[in-house]
Amino acid sequence: MIRAWRWLHRCVLPVLAWLLCASATPLHAHESLPASLLLQEVEPQVFAVQWRVPQTQGQALQITPHLPADCTPLSQPLALAVPNARQSEWQVACKGGLRTGSISFEGLSLTLIDTLVRVAYLDGSVSSHVARARTPTVQLSQAERTGLDLGGYFVLGVEHILSGFDHLLFVLCLVMLAPHWLALLKNITAFTLAHSLTLALAALGLVHVPQAPIEATIALSILFLARELARPAWSDGWTRKRTWAVAFAFGLLHGFGFAGALSQVGLPAGEVPLALLLFNLGVEAGQIAFIAVAYPALALLAHWPLLQRRWLTPLPVYAIGSVAGMWWLQRMGLVLGAGA
């Protein structure tokens, strides 16, 4: 078993290095934050509209919502300055009261993000939906006005973790640092408990942490683990002895990063607890799916003769560290720019 894990540590496929470099842009690191379209009925058949689109590299994604044909604008969109997003508000009159019809999102199919749609009616009922790149249109109907889109928030959590390369790289490092499956279970459990805690605190509004420094520190956490992986396994440092403690400490930071996805949505306080639970369950499901694929795949690749060559041994770890270092420099630039 020990010999197999030594092979695993030195033979993460070189192709991973190329994939990491190909995905090491802020677009891939941040584009998993969702957009949101909130419609509140303020008087019969009149709705206040709030449209929010996340920014990547300082630019808002080019997505345009199209309401049902019976909706007529009552005012021009008013642009508002909000952190890390472009937000606009206006009012529309919809003859059908948004009881039926469809809402489509032009440009959504060209992105990696989801869009949450929430319609709140005067009678107190709520209709929630999730539009995705492959299905950029949502259908409104009387039967669907039952509240939160349960499956939508769960899938949003799954997609958020699987499209968040920084979080996945951190989990991959935890897998590579574990000498056996029991240690891996301890590492992942500690990471899960920690990020679930801070995700809840942030989403419920109990703790407020600026997102830019958190994102920079998340990149630094990956760099820290890559540095540990670059050291000889026999060095037996504190991090290798207590990897679960390191996973817990950094997991607290990653939880604030996950909270950024829900904070971009701006859901009413009454819906946050359930949305939070579903989103977090989705994150955990995506994380488990990633580990379930990565763990056996790395063990199998350990037997590939090409990966036994000594000169290939450090490349994957150096690739991870290089990508994390680049992310950290880019994100620190945003932190320093915001403070200027």
The larger pLDDT score, comparing residue 297 to residue 107, is at 107
pLDDT recorded at residue 178: 85
At residue 5 the predicted structure's pLDDT band, cuts being 50, 70 and 90, is very low
At residue 111 the predicted structure's pLDDT band, cuts being 50, 70 and 90, is confident
In whole angstroms, give the CA distance from residue 135 to residue 111.
12
On whether the CB atoms of residues 94 and 102 are closer than 8 A, the answer is no
pLDDT recorded at residue 10: 46
pLDDT recorded at residue 223: 92
Write out the E strands in the chain. 35-43, 46-56, 59-60, 64-66, 71-73, 78-82, 85-94, 101-106, 115-120, 126-131, 137-140
Q: Is the per-residue pLDDT at 42 higher than 90? A: yes
Instruction: For residue 315, give Cα distances in angstroms to 28, 286, 321.
Output: 22, 27, 10
CA geometry: angle 282, 198, 209, nearest 5 deg: 120
In whole angstroms, give the CA distance from residue 153 to residue 274.
9
Q: Is the per-residue pLDDT at 222 higher than 90? A: yes
Prediction pTM value = 0.70
pLDDT tens readout for residues 60-96: 678 999 999 999 999 999 988 766 678 899 999 999 8
User: Around Cβ 15, how many Cβ atoms within 10 Å?
Assistant: 10
Q: Locate tokens 């991973």: which residue? A: 16
